[in-house]
Chain A
């Protein structure tokens, strides 16, 4: 698995349950790849940020 596939699965993980094979391959890739580990964390944070942004509506 390369980073492009790993990041795609990290995004899809927020949309659908990954298969067992996908989970294992992704876990193994992230074990070796700090960039993709960070990417996964950022996606979770991005979701929180988007919800906060929408709820506040106040950025002025």
Chain B
């Protein structure tokens, strides 16, 4: 993330401890995306093999990781597109916990509850440089309902377009809009409560 980080060993990928940490991160990411641990393992495996083949051309830890994750993202996108072609998409349970969160954020007339009204975020740029912030971000992401997290990650992290996400997840466009809306609502609130406005409670 931070380009000012000290240069890492060029042979990062040959360090078993480093490799194991990286593999675990990748797997978590892939499982959320693909919803299947075995397929996720395969995608991670393939991405790592591809990365190891060309590891020599990368000098620094941060660049290395970015690059390995880019390979993984492509692998996941391939699997999702393939699934779509083979029509194997398992429809996401889009109706899971339907509509409960409205009550928490908005009053009966649909206006913000006073305590839930979004505040201006202090120093969003600074957050990018904070290791602790990224842990909060990851935790907030993990607390989304799985189907919402999957759709959100496909859209915002794998950067598939709306049509591709719909096809891959087996959902309609209006379903997608609702799921993304809910995911964003929750994630935004979680980040605000746990980072941008500490002490506000959750």
B156 near A50 with CB under 8 A, answer yes
Q: How many residues from A make CB contacts under 8 Å with B? A: 35
Smallest CB separation, A4 vs chain B (Å)? 4
Tally of B interface residues using CB under 8 Å: 52
With contact pairs A38-B118, A46-B188, A58-B62 given, residues A5 and B177 touching in the complex (Cβ less than 8 Å): no
**Which residue from B21, B162, B181 sits with its C-beta under 8 Å from A7?**
B181
CB-CB < 8 A to A54: which residues of B? 29, 69, 73, 153, 156-159
Distance in Å from the Cβ of B12 to the closest Cβ of chain A? Answer: 11
Instruction: Decide if B185 is an interface residue (CB 8 Å cutoff).
Output: yes
Q: Are A55 and B70 in contact (CB under 8 A)?
A: yes
B58 within 8 A of A: no
Is the contact region of chain A dominated by helix, strand, or loop, or is it mixed? helix
Main secondary structure of the interface of B (DSSP, over half): helix
Complex partner residue of B181 from A8, A45, A59, CB under 8 angstroms: A8
In the bound complex, how far is the Cα of B69 from the Cα of A56, in angstroms?
Answer: 7
Contacts of A3 in B (CB 8 A): 106, 110-112
A42 CB contact (under 8 Å) in B105, B118, B159, B176: B118
Contacts of B37 in A (CB 8 A): none
Closest B residue to A50 using CB positions = B156
13 contacts between A and B (CB under 8 A): A2-B110, A4-B102, A8-B181, A11-B177, A35-B117, A38-B118, A39-B118, A41-B120, A53-B134, A54-B159, A55-B69, A57-B25, A57-B29
Given A2-B111, A34-B117, A38-B121, list of 18 further CB < 8 A pairs? A2-B110, A3-B112, A12-B177, A16-B177, A41-B120, A41-B121, A46-B156, A49-B137, A49-B191, A54-B29, A54-B73, A54-B158, A56-B1, A56-B65, A57-B22, A58-B62, A58-B65, A59-B134
- Chain A residues near B (Cβ < 8 Å): 2-5, 7-8, 11-12, 14-16, 33-36, 38-39, 41-43, 45-47, 49-60
